[in-house]
């Protein structure tokens, strides 16, 4: 095969001065204009001929896009243009939300992470998005600027299908926000790729757990699965099993089985549906066990 031509199809680059201007332009040119940040998905889609937008609207420089801010009462806000390498080295992320750094680190390579962003990963709405599971278990929400002003979109209801989200014409996501996580929590992201590092996920499992005196088991877990359904999936029955029954190896295995049953993967070049289901069960057992070992040691 010939080396791919490095060029993108023709478009006009637009750099609006304000969020209002950005939303207005995107709304006026719905269907032919697209907001972009790092471009790591956008450029590939355009180069491959899937997206044919006449305008690319750069929103990186707009208000609040470039900051990571932690507020001890409100939580963590990561601007839409903050790249993954910055998230990984942020002391606030490392100290209080380390699973975000862990998930970001599994994305592609350092040079690509110089461009890639969490908000871009979310808005691309790929079921394989590596950072989305961590954002879901941390109860993330998006700050969205639209033609009618600012609003909040919780991630739990944001995804509608592969590449489909609740974003409407004129919307620009300015940041992703995370509340203060539960006291004493632990969270992990386990990713299965064809290589140890750098590949897309065949399966990704995220688990967050903490002590909770209000549940029969004394614990509560939040779980998320990547690459095994049309949208990033929260296996709620598995979560319920872990809060309802005393946590033993058997309970964890039962929850892992429930997670496997919740997913509806496809066969593709990275793995078969059957393989993915079995890996969900095995990785879920592993990740919940790891998290439980840490939180059960705390008194």
297 binds other proteins (CB under 8 A): no
Which of 18, 67, 95, 114 touches other proteins by CB under 8 A? 114
Q: Which one of 71-79, 104-112, 145-153, 229-237 is the stretch in contact with other proteins (CB under 8 A)?
A: 104-112
How far is residue 67's CA from residue 81's CA, in Å, rounded to a whole number? 8
How does DSSP classify residue 270?
T
- The residues pairing with 259 across neighbouring beta strands, listed in sequence order, are none
111 binds other proteins (CB under 8 A): yes
- Within residues 46-75, the interface with other proteins by CB under 8 A covers 47, 56, 58, 60
Kindly calculate the radius of gyration of the chain based on its CA atoms and give it in whole angstroms: 20
For the bound state, the minimum distance from the C-beta of residue 51 to other proteins, rounded and expressed in Å, comes to 13
User: Of 129, 142, 153, 145, whose CA–CA distance to 230 is shortest?
Assistant: 129
Q: Which is nearer to other proteins, 198 or 246 (CB)?
A: 198
94 binds other proteins (CB under 8 A): no
| Count, residues near other proteins per rule CB under 8 A | 31
How far is residue 61's CA from residue 139's CA, in Å, rounded to a whole number? 26
110, 85 in Cβ contact below 8 A? yes
For the bound state, the minimum distance from the C-beta of residue 269 to other proteins, rounded and expressed in Å, comes to 14
For 91, half-sphere exposure in the C-beta direction (CA atoms, 13 angstrom radius) is 0
For the bound state, the minimum distance from the C-beta of residue 21 to other proteins, rounded and expressed in Å, comes to 16
Structure-derived torsion over alpha carbons of residues 75, 79, 83, 88, reported in degrees to the nearest 10: -10
Q: Which one of 39-47, 66-74, 183-191, 271-279 is the stretch in contact with other proteins (CB under 8 A)?
A: 39-47
Residues that bind other proteins (CB under 8 A): 3-13, 38-40, 43-44, 47, 56, 58, 60, 85, 108-112, 114-115, 195, 197-198
């Amino acid at each position: 095969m010939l080396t791919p031509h490095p060029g993108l199809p023709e478009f006009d680059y637009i750099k609006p001065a304000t969020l209002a201007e950005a939303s207005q332009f995107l709304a006026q040119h719905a269907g032919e204009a697209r907001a972009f940040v790092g471009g790591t998905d956008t450029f590939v889609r355009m180069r491959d001929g899937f997206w044919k937008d006449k305008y690319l609207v750069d929103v990186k420089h707009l208000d609040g896009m470039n900051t990571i801010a932690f507020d001890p009462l409100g939580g963590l806000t990561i601007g839409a243009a903050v790249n993954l390498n910055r998230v990984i080295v942020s002391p606030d992320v490392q100290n209080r939300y380390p699973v975000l750094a862990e998930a970001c680190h599994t994305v592609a390579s350092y040079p690509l992470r110089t461009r890639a962003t969490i908000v871009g990963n979310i808005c691309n709405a790929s079921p394989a998005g590596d950072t989305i599971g961590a954002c879901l278990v941390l109860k993330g929400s998006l700050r969205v600027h639209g033609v009618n002003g600012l609003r909040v979109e919780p991630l739990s209801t944001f995804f509608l299908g592969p590449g489909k989200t609740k974003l409407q014409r004129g919307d620009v996501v300015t940041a992703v926000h995370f509340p203060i996580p539960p006291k004493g929590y632990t969270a992990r992201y386990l990713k299965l790729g064809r290589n140890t590092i750098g590949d897309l996920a065949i399966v990704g499992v995220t688990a967050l757990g903490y002590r909770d005196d209000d549940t029969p088991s004394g614990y509560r877990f939040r779980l998320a699965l990547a690459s095994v359904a049309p949208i990033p999936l929260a296996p709620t029955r598995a979560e319920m099993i872990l809060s309802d029954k005393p946590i033993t190896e058997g309970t964890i295995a039962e929850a892992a089985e429930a997670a496997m049953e919740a997913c509806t993967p496809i066969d593709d070049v990275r793995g078969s549906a059957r393989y993915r289901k079995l890996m969900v069960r095995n990785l879920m057992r592993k990740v919940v066990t790891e998290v439980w070992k840490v939180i059960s040691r705390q008194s």
